[in-house]
């Protein structure tokens, strides 16, 4: 079975799961490991809007530990590991014991790891001898080697870096902490803000997708000039366009049936060179069709690199595969503009 | 420009810097100058943001300019590590790491009635209510944590937690990131909304009142300042929030604008009360 907490081996592809029926299909198309969410009814009844992880009940979360057991069993049958997200931005004192118990139950029924954000939960799991099972969630917002070292001290050996990170920053962290396995986002579901610095809850809707209107003011109290208003209006208009790209380009598919939206395909070579061990495909709540297409898309670029293609060749392959120059051109869909060989040559 | 005059008697600590964006870190020369402008007798706190590795090196240089006893508010565990390495500096867990929901869509506390359910109560609590987290903070030498006002109110016993709370008012950070609307005003098209792209600190000159075109948050006064959305709370919300922090060492920090580089604070409750009542 592919181990979820290793710094060695080929580049992995972590795919989201909602249902046992997806496991074999996704594994056959290139997924090397899986992650899922769980949202027991009892938690929802007790805590309402304070979710167990960053996604709602329903397709993004299976409803019980038993369902996780079934997913783990199916994943293992395909030689893949399964991790479970317990990555709310934080848990309160009231919640901590309950989450730690749940974590133990999940590992007890076959989950291979837990994706965790909250420092308190990390400490609690460490104290129970379970730190080795933890993957640090992107919601922990690790942007530097010092922060990574802090979590490594708590026993974490695998970390998902935040969405908003540069390839050069990934390389810098890896260079200082080579024994930490790094995972990064590669496809789908962007975030307008830094998730770890966001104090809103998706339980009340997606705050960052609110159709805002902005009224420009000068900090010195003077009236903005017409030029300033024009410049800001242009920036705000482009910002709305960028947000549309971040929001999966309106959840659209290309003419080739490929999922549009945040993408790091062109940067996979650079990410591998920077020390990344696993590529994360986002979208537990997505349709099975979107998941399969996403996994195939990522796997096809990984296969190019595994076959000896240079980073530039693999990036060109990825662009040709997508064939959406109108979306790729501005860079608004890119997770890693600095990892795209074509852009960095400009 | 220095800290300006305090709001009145009893304001005894100066805050300098911003905790939301790496590009707002001062140069070493600017920090040295700022530190020298702190009035005699006033204490000093440096606010620091989350940073990348280059920013971490810069923060290390900034910390060398500080004096023994100065506080450093951290939004990044890497920065916390640096502060702990400098003997004499006092680490404070910043608002971004003292995690709690500050969502403008959460309804206000219902009058004087205490929250009736666990679901209500957890909305009024932060990550520091977790005993496991607190034990780690204690081991790391963190004795003070920072908060911002929330309409739903606080339900935390800071005396029992043996932590001193600092409340920043009236602006509460709602959400923020590494991509900046204002920076795009001065960036080349190929670098707009690119993570880590440089900027001209447009946020020093502009702010935008931000409203929901569909009107789902009619009572929230929101501002986009740089890379962050802030909520400006009315004084009564800030007042209720501070009243819930009635423990020795509780501190109020006030500022005129979301990203004002300087702010004053007080630990004198009567002084704080006058500001919160609008009679300072």
- CB–CB of B118 and A94 under 8 A? yes
Q: Which value, to the nearest 10 degrees, does the dihedral of the CA atoms of residues A318, B198, A276, A151 take?
A: -150
Nearest beta carbon to residue B100 from set A166, A199, A216: A199
* Segment A290-309 mean pLDDT: 96
On the CB side of A309, CA atoms within 13 Å amount to: 21
pLDDT at A10: 84
- A 10 A CB-CB count for B135 gives 14
Strand partners, A13: A279
Torsion of CA A234, A236, A238, A241, to 10 degrees: -150
Q: Which residues of B touch A165 (CB under 8 A)?
A: 195
Q: Tell me which chain A residues have a C-beta less than 8 angstroms from the C-beta of B181.
A: 214, 235-236, 239
What does the domain layout of chain A look like in residue ranges? 12-197+248-344
Q: Do A149 and B78 touch (CB under 8 A)?
A: yes
Residue-level pLDDT at B163 = 98
Given a cut of 70, whether residue A50 has pLDDT beyond it is yes
Per-residue H/E/C for B51-96: CCHHHHHHHHHHHCCCCCCCEEEECCHHHHHHHHHCCCCEEEECCC
By Cβ distance, the residue of B99, B185, B192 closest to A232 is B185
**Can you tell me the distance from the alpha carbon of A120 to that of B123, in angstroms, rounded to the nearest whole number?**
17
pLDDT, position A53 = 92
Question: What pLDDT does residue B279 have?
Answer: 80
CA distances from A219 to B21, B169, B170, B217, B253 (A): 17, 18, 16, 24, 20
- In sequence order, what are the residues at sequence separation of 6 or more whose Cβ sits closer than 8 angstroms to the Cβ of residue B211? A212, A213, A215, B222
ipTM: 0.96
Determine, for residues B103 and A204 on separate chains, whether the beta-carbon distance falls below 8 Å.
yes
Distance of residue A64 Cα from the nearest chain B Cα, in angstroms: 20
Q: Which residue in B20, B53, B194 is closest to A172 by CB distance?
A: B53
pLDDT at position B214 is: 74
Reported as a single tens digit per residue, the pLDDT across B197-239 is: 999 999 999 999 999 877 777 779 999 999 999 999 999 999 9
Compute the Cα dihedral for A117, A118, A119, A121 and give only its sign: negative
Segments of chain A assigned E as strands: 12-16, 33-37, 81-86, 113-116, 134-136, 158-160, 181-187, 212-218, 276-281
Cβ atoms of residues B208 and A235 within 8 Å: no
Q: How far is CA A73 from the centre of its chain?
A: 24
A270 vs A264: CA distance, rounded Å: 10
**Domains in chain B, ordered, with CATH?**
13-171+234-277 (3.20.20)
Sheet of A212-218: strands edge to edge?
A212-218, B206-212, B221-225, B228-232, B171-176
Is A164 in Cβ contact with B103 (below 8 Å)? no
Average pLDDT, integer, range B2-17: 94
Which chain B residues are closer than 8 Å to A92 by Cβ? 121-122, 125-127, 129-130
Interface check for A123 against chain B (CB to CB < 8 A): the answer is yes
Q: How confident is the model at residue B246 (pLDDT cuts 50, 70, 90)?
A: very high
- Nearest by CB to residue A212, choosing from B135, B207, B212, is B212
Other residues' Cβ atoms within 10 Å of the Cβ of residue B33: 14
**In whole angstroms, what is the distance from residue B158 CA to residue A142 CA?**
28
* Class at the top of the CATH hierarchy for domain A12-197+248-344: alpha beta
pLDDT confidence band for B51 (50 / 70 / 90): very high
pLDDT at A79 over 90: yes
Decide if B101 and A193 are in contact by the 8 Å CB cutoff: no
Q: Which residues of A touch B205 (CB under 8 A)?
A: 218-220
With bands split at pLDDT 50, 70 and 90, how would you rate the model's confidence at A48?
confident
Average of per-residue pLDDT values in chain B = 94
A residues 264-293 near B, CB within 8 Å? Answer: none
| pLDDT at residue A3, as a whole number | 57
Tell me if A216 and B206 make a contact (CB, 8 A cut-off): yes
Which chain A residue has its CA at the smallest distance from B210's CA?
A214
pLDDT classification of A129: cutoffs 50, 70, 90: very high
- CB of A330 less than 8 A from some CB of B: yes
What is the distance between the alpha carbons of residues B109 and B177, in angstroms, rounded to a whole number? 28
pLDDT-derived band of residue A4, with 50, 70 and 90 as boundaries? low
Q: What is the pLDDT of residues B96-130, one digit of tens each?
A: 999 999 999 998 875 555 557 888 899 999 999 99
DSSP letter (8 states) at residue A13: E
């Amino acid at each position: 079975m592919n181990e979820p907490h290793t710094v060695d081996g080929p580049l992995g592809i972590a795919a989201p799961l909602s249902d046992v029926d997806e496991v074999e299909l996704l594994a056959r198309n290139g997924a090397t490991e899986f992650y899922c969410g769980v949202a027991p009814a009892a938690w929802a009844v007790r805590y309402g809007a304070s979710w167990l992880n960053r996604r709602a009940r329903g397709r993004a979360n299976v409803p019980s530990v038993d369902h996780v057991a079934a997913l783990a069993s199916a994943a293992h049958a395909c030689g893949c590991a399964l991790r479970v997200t317990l990555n709310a931005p934080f848990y309160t004192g009231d919640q901590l014991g309950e989450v730690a118990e749940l974590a133990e139950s999940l590992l007890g029924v076959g989950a291979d790891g837990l994706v965790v954000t909250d420092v308190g939960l990390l400490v609690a799991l460490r104290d129970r001898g379970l730190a080795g099972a933890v993957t640090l969630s992107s919601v922990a917002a690790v942007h530097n080697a010092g922060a990574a070292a802090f979590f490594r001290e708590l026993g974490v050996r695998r970390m998902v870096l935040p969405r908003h990170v540069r390839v050069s920053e990934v390389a810098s962290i890896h260079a200082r902490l080579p024994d930490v396995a790094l995972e990064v986002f590669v496809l789908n579901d962007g975030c307008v803000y830094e998730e770890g610095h966001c104090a809103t809850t998706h339980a009340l809707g997606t705050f960052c997708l609110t159709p805002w209107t902005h009224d420009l003011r000068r900090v010195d109290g003077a009236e903005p000039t017409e030029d300033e208003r024009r410049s800001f209006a242009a920036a705000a208009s482009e910002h709305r366009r960028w947000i549309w790209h971040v929001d999966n380009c309106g959840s659209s598919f290309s003419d080739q049936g490929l999922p549009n939206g945040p993408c790091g395909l062109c940067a996979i070579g650079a990410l591998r060179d920077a020390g990344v061990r696993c590529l994360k495909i986002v979208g537990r709540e997505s349709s099975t069709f979107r998941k399969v297409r996403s996994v195939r898309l990522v796997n096809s670029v990984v296969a190019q690199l595994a076959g000896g293609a240079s980073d530039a060749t693999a990036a060109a392959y990825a662009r040709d595969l997508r064939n959406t120059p109108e979306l790729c051109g501005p860079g608004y869909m890119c997770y890693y503009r600095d990892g795209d060989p074509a852009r960095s040559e400009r | 420009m220095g800290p300006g005059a305090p709001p009145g008697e009893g304001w005894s600590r100066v805050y300098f810097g911003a905790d939301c964006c790496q590009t707002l870190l001062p140069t070493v020369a600017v920090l040295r100058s700022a530190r020298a402008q702190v009035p005699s007798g006033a204490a000093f706190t440096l606010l620091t943001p989350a940073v990348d590795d280059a920013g971490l090196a810069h923060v290390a240089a900034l910390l060398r300019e500080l004096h023994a006893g100065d506080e450093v508010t951290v939004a990044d565990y890497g920065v916390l590590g640096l502060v702990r390495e400098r003997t004499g500096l006092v680490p404070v867990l910043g608002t971004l790491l003292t995690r709690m929901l500050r969502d403008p869509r959460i309804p206000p506390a219902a009058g004087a009635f205490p929250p009736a359910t666990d679901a209500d109560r957890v909305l009024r609590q932060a990550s520091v209510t977790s005993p496991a987290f607190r034990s780690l903070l204690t081991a790391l030498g963190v004795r003070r944590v920072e908060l911002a006002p929330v309409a739903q109110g606080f339900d935390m016993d800071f005396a029992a937690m043996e932590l001193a709370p600092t409340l920043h008012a009236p602006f509460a950070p709602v959400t923020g990131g590494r991509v900046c609307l204002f920076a795009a005003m001065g960036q080349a098209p190929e670098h707009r909304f690119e993570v880590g792209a440089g900027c001209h600190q447009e946020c020093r000159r502009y702010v935008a009142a931000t409203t929901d075109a569909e009107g789902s948050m009619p009572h929230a006064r929101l501002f986009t300042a740089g890379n962050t959305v802030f909520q400006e709370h009315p004084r009564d919300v800030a007042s209720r929030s501070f009243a819930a922090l009635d423990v020795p060492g509780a501190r109020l920090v006030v500022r005129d604008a979301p990203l004002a580089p300087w702010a004053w604070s007080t630990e004198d409750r009567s002084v704080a009360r006058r500001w919160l009542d609008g009679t300072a």
